[in-house]
Homo-oligomer: A and B are copies of this chain.
Amino acid sequence: MHFHHHGYVSGDPRVQPVAGTGIDRPEELPDEMDVLIVGTGPAGMLTAAQMSQFPSVSTRIIERRPGRLEIGQADGIQARSVETFQSFGFAERIIAEAYTITEMAFWKPDPENPSNIVRAARTLDDAHGISEFPHLIVNQARVLDYFAEVMANAPTRMTPDYGYEFKDLQDTGEGEYPVKVTLVRTAGPDEGAERVVRTKYVVGSDGARSKVRSAIGCSLAGDQANHAWGVMDVLAESDFPDIRTKCAIQSGSGGSILLIPREGGHLFRMYVDLGEVPEGSHGSVRKTTIEQIIAKANEIVHPYTVEVRDVAWHSVYEVGHRLTDRFDDVVAEERGIRDPRVFITGDACHTHSAKAGQGMNVSMQDGFNLGWKLGHVLEGRSPAALLSSYSEERQVIAQNLIDFDKQWSSLMAKKPEDFENPSELEEFYVRTAEFPAGFMTEYEKSLLVAGPDHQDLATGFTIGKRFKSSPVVRLADGNPKQLGHLAQADGRWRIYVFADRAEAGADSATKEFAEWLTTAAESPLAATPEGADDDAWFDVKVVYQQDHTNIDINAVPDAFRPKVGPFKLTHLEKIFGAQEGDDIFEKRGLSRDGVVVVVRPDHYVANVLPLTATDELGAFFAPILAV
């Protein structure tokens, strides 16, 4: 954590100094704002938490409900989400209260007595060590709480505006706040009253029945039918041996359950498969009672029993794989001609089977992709053209996910006798683990992602994929650190300079590159506003090949020792040495001649370049910074 550089902080350093729109922030929803986010689900809250880091931007997030979410909905948090939480500063806390999935068990009918189930397999959840972060299960409500805390502690002191329903919007194309949004009060003394506000941008994070989506003429397409699950979060007694292990259970009768142990040591969730139902049907499935769900669960787990003592939440959750063809308000004919004003994120633009546990996770990544772009455009760091990349990047990801999800769901639904080989299910699970863990996202070449020209200089940092952390040792204090974990969700670009063989300070490509960074007019750092901290827009770090005891801190170029805060203090925590026995150069396939890795504020690798490619780096950033 970086603090005290604006003067001594006596209290919780997580509470940032109030600034910009956070000073005198109106408690009530004002008539005008830069960004209006609709819906406080995971997609909306992450976007809001990210926007809250841009003090000059006024962002409001409205929610139809009168207050915070209390219960239910999604609970699976993949490693990529935990990694994201880490950058928002609450990973360690949510890990401490969540259930951690270490293993998954597969139960099948006993071949000798198919009316009983037996454990057929047990697999490690992350057998390949894909991530240093765990796979968690925790109530969606807590995820939202943590984002709310991030917002409240941000310079902008944001809080959600509960009790407002989005009704419609109209892009007037006029004035500073061109989008006219009609809201309805759903709580408080003026319940039912209409209210019109004006904004520059709208983010529709209003879930599967999104009205923002309709307002921009999009619709979800995909499955004809929904799949229905009887979902229950219960406290129960059970002799089922794996009651606190994530399980896929298939009974001889064809029934199936996904068992998800929950936080706290007792609660668990069961998804009991209720089969396909036509969309919009008002059939019998909807009327499935909790007693029926419990009875069905008991049938499936025979010879074991589940004796429910308390029902925390239950629902018949119906969902199909569906997707819109665009995630913003720019129709195909207008693409490239005008920039978007309205975006949809999360369930508003894609829905998924509950089984792969993707909904909440991919929704948050939508928000992470969009948030910083809005911030940069509104702060005048970048042109509005940046905003088109949101739909372009995320629509493909959602499609890939649905493809994967379908495969997984149909495998899960297969009758045991239909499998080609008896362990097809668990083999698929292990083989494709990078996907559900959230690390398969790979953005294509674009304004924000370079081509693979120099990929061979850093084979472990795939351009377009998220920057995978690796340990290094911090020079200033000899502390071992995960390099990636130092990248906070503060909206900054990162430039990682992996030095060449030379010693710090010796004449070398590294030194020349550093010199260029701080002095050249073409350097992206030249865009940093006058008077701001040297690292306000670009967080530049250097990793030397030497171990930290062999680097002379006073010889390190100034580019890696920026001045920060009103006292113009030198920030000494940007210089690293390789970790003995776990060398990042080897682990990530980094060129010993040095390499520059450019990483976006949402953690994705944007570019990989040799130290000498300053022209190329300048050219990469020129259109991104051209305002």
**Which positions in A face B, CB cutoff 8 Å?**
1-5, 7-14, 70-71, 89, 92-93, 96-97, 99-100, 102-103, 122, 139, 141-142, 145, 233, 235-237, 239, 241, 243-245, 261-267, 309-310, 312-313, 476-480, 549, 552-554, 565, 567-573
CB-defined A-B contacts under 8 Å, sample of 21: A1-B96, A4-B262, A4-B265, A4-B266, A4-B267, A7-B310, A8-B71, A8-B312, A8-B313, A12-B97, A13-B264, A92-B96, A235-B569, A241-B554, A244-B476, A244-B572, A244-B573, A245-B477, A245-B478, A265-B573, A309-B567
Alpha-carbon distance between A7 and B553 when the two chains are bound, in angstroms: 56
Residues of B within 8 A of A480 (CB): 102
Alpha-carbon distance between A8 and B1 when the two chains are bound, in angstroms: 34
- The binding surface of chain A is classed by DSSP as loop
> CB distance A100 to B479 under 8 Å?
yes
> CB distance B552 to A263 under 8 Å?
no
Beyond the given pairs A1-B264, A3-B265, A243-B572, 12 more chain A to chain B contacts, judged by CB atoms under 8 angstroms and listed by A's residue number, are A1-B96, A1-B263, A3-B264, A4-B267, A4-B312, A8-B267, A8-B310, A9-B264, A10-B71, A12-B142, A92-B92, A265-B573
Distance (whole angstroms) from the CB of A275 to the closest CB of chain B: 28
- The 8 Å CB contact of A145, one of B11, B478, B552, B569, is B11
- A-B pairs, 6 with minimum CB distance: A4-B264, A8-B312, A244-B476, A309-B567, A3-B264, A103-B478
> CB distance B569 to A263 under 8 Å?
no
Distance (whole angstroms) from the CB of A269 to the closest CB of chain B: 12
Distance (whole angstroms) from the CB of A162 to the closest CB of chain B: 16
Alpha-carbon distance between A87 and B393 when the two chains are bound, in angstroms: 45
Known contacts A243-B572, A479-B102; A567 and B264 CB within 8 A of each other: no
* Residue from A13, A102, A477 with most neighbouring chain B CB atoms (10 Å): A477
> CB distance B70 to A10 under 8 Å?
yes
Alpha-carbon distance between A97 and B553 when the two chains are bound, in angstroms: 24
**Chain B: which residue is nearest A3 at the CB level?**
B264
* Residue from A122, A237, A262 with most neighbouring chain B CB atoms (10 Å): A237
Residues of B within 8 A of A549 (CB): 122
Alpha-carbon distance between A101 and B205 when the two chains are bound, in angstroms: 44
**Chain B: which residue is nearest A134 at the CB level?**
B479
Known contacts A2-B265, A265-B4, A571-B265; A102 and B237 CB within 8 A of each other: no
Alpha-carbon distance between A14 and B263 when the two chains are bound, in angstroms: 13
- The 8 Å CB contact of A2, one of B70, B236, B264, is B264
Residues of B within 8 A of A552 (CB): 241
> CB distance A1 to B235 under 8 Å?
no
Residues of B within 8 A of A565 (CB): 266
> CB distance B239 to A554 under 8 Å?
yes
Alpha-carbon distance between A197 and B148 when the two chains are bound, in angstroms: 42
**Chain B: which residue is nearest A567 at the CB level?**
B309
**Chain B: which residue is nearest A308 at the CB level?**
B567
**Chain B: which residue is nearest A119 at the CB level?**
B549
Residues of B within 8 A of A313 (CB): 8
Residues of B within 8 A of A10 (CB): 70-71, 139, 141
> CB distance A263 to B4 under 8 Å?
yes
Residues of B within 8 A of A479 (CB): 100, 102
Residues of B within 8 A of A7 (CB): 235, 310, 312
Residues of B within 8 A of A100 (CB): 477, 479
Alpha-carbon distance between A554 and B103 when the two chains are bound, in angstroms: 19
* Residue from A4, A5, A479, A571 with most neighbouring chain B CB atoms (10 Å): A4
Residues of B within 8 A of A71 (CB): 8, 10
Residues of B within 8 A of A263 (CB): 1, 3-4, 13
> CB distance B235 to A478 under 8 Å?
no
Alpha-carbon distance between A310 and B569 when the two chains are bound, in angstroms: 10
**Chain B: which residue is nearest A554 at the CB level?**
B239
> CB distance A477 to B312 under 8 Å?
no
> CB distance B3 to A235 under 8 Å?
no
Distance (whole angstroms) from the CB of A605 to the closest CB of chain B: 26
Known contacts A1-B97, A245-B477, A477-B245; A572 and B265 CB within 8 A of each other: yes
Alpha-carbon distance between A572 and B235 when the two chains are bound, in angstroms: 13
Residues of B within 8 A of A93 (CB): 92-93
Distance (whole angstroms) from the CB of A237 to the closest CB of chain B: 6
Alpha-carbon distance between A396 and B155 when the two chains are bound, in angstroms: 50
Distance (whole angstroms) from the CB of A300 to the closest CB of chain B: 19
Alpha-carbon distance between A123 and B5 when the two chains are bound, in angstroms: 29
Alpha-carbon distance between A70 and B7 when the two chains are bound, in angstroms: 13
Known contacts A1-B263, A9-B264, A97-B14; A476 and B92 CB within 8 A of each other: no
Residues of B within 8 A of A97 (CB): 1, 12-14
**Chain B: which residue is nearest A105 at the CB level?**
B478
> CB distance A244 to B92 under 8 Å?
no
Alpha-carbon distance between A27 and B92 when the two chains are bound, in angstroms: 33
Alpha-carbon distance between A553 and B70 when the two chains are bound, in angstroms: 33
Distance (whole angstroms) from the CB of A414 to the closest CB of chain B: 26
* Residue from A100, A235, A570, A572 with most neighbouring chain B CB atoms (10 Å): A235
Distance (whole angstroms) from the CB of A99 to the closest CB of chain B: 7
* Residue from A3, A8, A244, A262 with most neighbouring chain B CB atoms (10 Å): A8
